Structure formats: C-alpha cells, structure tokens
Amino acid sequence: MNKQNLLSLAKGFAKNKRISYDKRIMHPVRDWLIGLSCFFTLVIAGGAYSAHQFITYRNLNIYEGSLNEQTVKYNEVLVERVLGEYAKREEAYQALQTVEIGVQAPEEEGATSTEPAVDQTGTSTEAVQEETPQPVLES
C-alpha cells in the first residue's frame, strides 16, 4: 500500500459519507401521494363515524326516564328508630370524649423523695382537678 492508494480510499469514504440515502428509492411524487391518501382516508373515516353517531343519537330523549319516577314514601316509625340509634351512639361518643385516659407509671421504692409542688394558695397541684364543661345537646 502506498500513499496514493490510501488517499484514493479516503476520498471514496468521504464521497460516500455525503449521501446518507440511496437515490434510487427516492420518489417524491409517490411519497406525497401515499401521505395525502392516508390523510384523506383518515378524514373520511372519521367523518363517516361521526355521521353514524349523530344519526344514531339525534332522537335520544334525555328526559324520558324522569317521567316514570316513583315518589319516596316517608316512614315515620323507621326514621324515629334510626334517629334514636344515632342519639345513643352520640351519647356513647360524648362519654368517651370526657373520660381522661392517663398512664400511671409504677411507683418504685427508694427512687427519689420529692414532695408534690404546692402553689401559692397552699393547695397541692395533684389535688387540683378542673372539670371540663359538658356540651349541651340541643334537639
């Protein structure tokens, strides 16, 4: 291999790199016809489907079902029983809300000998308990 062969080989590669497609399979008119044919086929198919749906549903009456509705009858006994059940549930819930749940640590013998704090009135803070007001239910 000499220098001349390498240069001609390099020029051949450079020429082939410029063309990234084969000119023998290029047909612009055919490609445009195929593209436009596909487009118009989709437009016509969509129009036909829309026309079919319009013809099918154009006489649909949306208020037809509301004329045959039945009136709901009021059952006073059943309503009073259910309201009583809910009143019992509310009382049980309110009773649970007022109960204070506290976790008491077990007393250990000989741990520390601290006296309970006494406020300025002379009462122990352990003995002071505030009562929470009960909510009044209006019926």
Cα of 85 vs its chain's centroid, Å: 34
Cα–Cα distance for residue pair 122/126, rounded to 1 Å? 12
What per-residue confidence (pLDDT) applies to 42?
98
Cα–Cα distance for residue pair 11/3, rounded to 1 Å? 12
- For residue 93, the number of C-alpha atoms closer than 13 Å in the C-beta half-sphere is 8
- For residue 1, the number of C-alpha atoms closer than 13 Å in the C-beta half-sphere is 5
Cα–Cα distance for residue pair 84/78, rounded to 1 Å? 10
What per-residue confidence (pLDDT) applies to 106?
67
What per-residue confidence (pLDDT) applies to 124?
52
Residue owning tokens 């009462």: 123
What per-residue confidence (pLDDT) applies to 97?
87
What per-residue confidence (pLDDT) applies to 89?
95
Q: What is the mean pLDDT for each group of 10 consecutive residues in the chain (139 residues)? A: 77 62 78 96 98 92 68 90 95 86 64 58 52 58
Domain boundaries, the chain: 71-96
| Token reading at 113 | 């000998």
Residue 138 CB coordination number (10 Å): 4
What per-residue confidence (pLDDT) applies to 127?
47
What per-residue confidence (pLDDT) applies to 62?
74
With b for 16 or more beta-carbon neighbours within 10 A and e for fewer, the 39-66 pattern comes to eeeeeeeeeeeeeeeeeeeeeeeeeeee
